[in-house]
Structure 1
Amino acid sequence: MMQSKISEVTFLLIVILMVSLSGIGSVSAQEPQTRTLKEQELVDMLVGSCIQSTRGCNPEESIKKVKEALNQGKHFKIISTDNFPDDWMVVAVQGIGGGGAWEHVIERTQRQNLPTITEAQANSRVVDLLSEHMGKEIKALIRSEAAEATTTALLVAADKGIPTLDAGITGRAVPEVQQSIPWINGIASIPTAIITPWGDEIIIKDAVDEYRVEDISRAIAVASGGSATITMTPMSGKQLKQGAIPG
């Protein structure tokens, strides 16, 4: 009789332990906590980003794009640096201009009637290009600077169903790619992916320093009629502690 009771108790303990372990596993498998931004929060963010840029900036076009995305059923999620897992990867995406654009390239491509891709297509494809090159899934986007780059990060993240990090790699709008917190703290912007308005795909696998990344990417923009789209500065959640400005 005593042995039977001991067996029952042992069985119950095993069941309780299994349930407990199952619960622990389900908690660890949960996605990190994110928050969905409301329309007014997005508007406030874009207006504030223009102020933060410390240069000429009109948020109306950005606000229009975000509202259109909301009307299409897109969701804008945000994740804090504290909740971003150490083994996840985040990248920055933005447009890059080129003063003194090669007008003859624009004229020639128009004569050739070369098809171009939309800004939204370029933004999405350049993120995929870097992800494929690195063989890693991009879990979130971080804004590279204030103003339009903030809008780009929000729209691309919403389109891909991933969050935007509640942080940035610069404190304002900057004229050159090397002017960022990650590089100051020893985190390179390479590998870097670039897509031109015609869909040309370029990877900067290695570079001497960030000044050369700026030289090369800017030259591609100049040779592409004055603009290109760039994804850069891949960072792990662990690196964010040194490479991002929270908030």
Structure 2
Amino acid sequence: MKLENRQQVEDFVRGCTFFGTGGGGLPENGIDSLMAALNDGHEIGWVDAESIPDDAMSVCPFLMGSIAPHTEDTIKEMSSYGMTDETSVNPERDRMSKAIGELEEYTKQKFDVIVPIELAGANASAAIAAGAQRGMVTVDGDYTGRAIPEIVQITYNYDGHKLAPIASVDEWGNVCIIKNAINPRTTEHLGKLISVAGYGLAGQAGMALEASKMKKTVIKNTLSESYEAGKLLREAKEAGKDFVQELMTFLGGYVIGRGVIVEKDDRDTDGYYWGTYTVDCGEEELKVWFKNENHVLWKNGSPYITSPDLICAIDTDTGEPVPNPSSYEGQNVAIVALACKDEQKNSTLLTPRYFGFDIDHVPIDSVIKER
């Protein structure tokens, strides 16, 4: 499929933002990435996995780091290191593109195919744009089927493939190579620490893999699904329909509650954006905990829905999915949830216990049936 105009770009980014479950960067940055590539004359879109030759080489570019807004104190500290608006040289798409180039130079390997690491408004879009800039095709799929805070939580890692080497290029032009790491979680930690030094999202590229193996690991057709979901959400709102319910019917998900955000607590620590927000739904209260993405939902004080299933917020005034950095007290939202992809269902790396909670994950379909 090709994205040929701004509306198609916005529909795609909207769908990716929804599947991003609150994380994965800001949709406006994703739109900027794709529109810049489109305006430069590049072809934007994706191809079916089976159309890619088995001997092609794939690479996974991604944004690594915290999605938290910068505070005034952080901006002052950044300035002391010479990191200001005036010294910013790499928008998100360029960080990824340059990271691919750095990895090609380090590995002496030419890459042909882009595999997005996750579905997210900024992350997936910038990956596609970076590939388009370099004349590469993007596969219709990703390694997660949602967005995630750590690169260990992807099918590529589940299948035993080595994450490193990874090249990193940040907004300011700092370049690093993670040559090797003792295990996948250390690879994640090193990547996050590099991003912390740049005060935001670094563009990184790694997970090189022959297409014959990539086809067995990628979760297929998720980019097309994201486009269709984003388009449906817009069209349902334009038609005056209950766009929240329309989307859940289309995806087989559930509307958990509708209300207003009455409290939000957040912090930017260790390269992640952490926090909670509480939604007053009248007779019910919902509370969401996030680490970049939403991972635990409590209903009236009791654990209800958890990762790896998807917990998402939709602004009921605008009809747009809500990234966590953009949520605010007083915002009218619907909290919805749906089952994760089959490839995530047996993961122990995306459950509440992995995040330190004494909570067992119960699949959402079982939770709703018991209600």
Which TM-score band (shorter chain)? 0.7 to 0.9
C-alpha change, 1:206 and 1:64, in structure 2 (3 Å) is closer
Radius of gyration: which is bigger?
A: 1
C-alpha change, 1:51 and 1:77, in structure 2 (3 Å) is closer
Match of 1:43 in 2: 10
C-alpha change, 1:201 and 1:246, in structure 2 (3 Å) is same
Match of 1:13 in 2: none
Unaligned runs of 5+ in 2: 222-371
C-alpha change, 1:48 and 1:223, in structure 2 (3 Å) is same
Matched, 1:164 2:138: yes
C-alpha change, 1:227 and 1:49, in structure 2 (3 Å) is closer
Match of 2:60 in 1: 92
- Secondary structure of the structure 1 residue equivalent to 2:78: helix
Q: How does 1:7-156 map to 2 (within 5 A)?
A: 36-39=2-5, 41-55=8-22, 59-98=27-66, 103=74, 106-110=78-82, 115-119=87-91, 120-147=93-120, 148-156=122-130
Alpha-carbon deviations, 1:106-163, whole Å to 9, x = none?
2322299994422243222111011111111110211111111111112111211221
The percent of aligned pairs where both chains have the same amino acid is: 25
Offset, 1:61? 4.5
Question: Among residues 158, 170, 175, which one is paired with 1:196 in the alignment?
Answer: 170
Question: Among residues 183, 193, 197, which one is paired with 1:223 in the alignment?
Answer: 197
Q: Quote the RMSD (CA, aligned, Å).
A: 2.8
Matched, 1:214 2:188: yes
Higher relative contact order (CA closer than 8 Å, sequence separation 6+): 1
The structure with the largest helix share of the pair is 1
Offset, 1:54? 1.9
Work out the CA distance in 2 between the residues paired with 1:91 and 1:46.
21
Name the stretch that deviates more: 236-245 or 101-110: 101-110
TM-score using structure 2 length: 0.52
Unaligned runs of 5+ in 1: 1-34
Name the stretch that deviates more: 187-196 or 111-120: 111-120
TM-score using structure 1 length: 0.76
- Secondary structure of the structure 1 residue equivalent to 2:22: coil
Match of 2:276 in 1: none
Work out the CA distance in 1 between the residues paired with 2:206 and 2:83.
32
Name the stretch that deviates more: 192-201 or 99-108: 99-108
C-alpha change, 1:175 and 1:130, in structure 2 (3 Å) is same
**Counterpart AA for 1:218:** K
8 Å Cα contact 1:105/1:223 also seen in 2: no
8 Å Cα contact 2:78/2:84 also seen in 1: no
8 Å Cα contact 1:185/1:242 also seen in 2: no
Work out the CA distance in 2 between the residues paired with 1:112 and 1:151.
24
C-alpha change, 1:55 and 1:84, in structure 2 (3 Å) is same
Name the stretch that deviates more: 167-176 or 235-244: 235-244
Work out the CA distance in 1 between the residues paired with 2:167 and 2:44.
24
Count of residue pairs brought into register by the alignment:
213
**Counterpart AA for 1:127:** I
Question: Among residues 180, 185, 190, which one is paired with 2:159 in the alignment?
Answer: 185
**Counterpart AA for 2:80:** R
8 Å Cα contact 2:58/2:211 also seen in 1: yes
Offset, 1:242? 3.0
Alpha-carbon deviations, 1:172-231, whole Å to 9, x = none?
010111110011011121111112333222111211111001111111111222332211
8 Å Cα contact 2:170/2:198 also seen in 1: yes
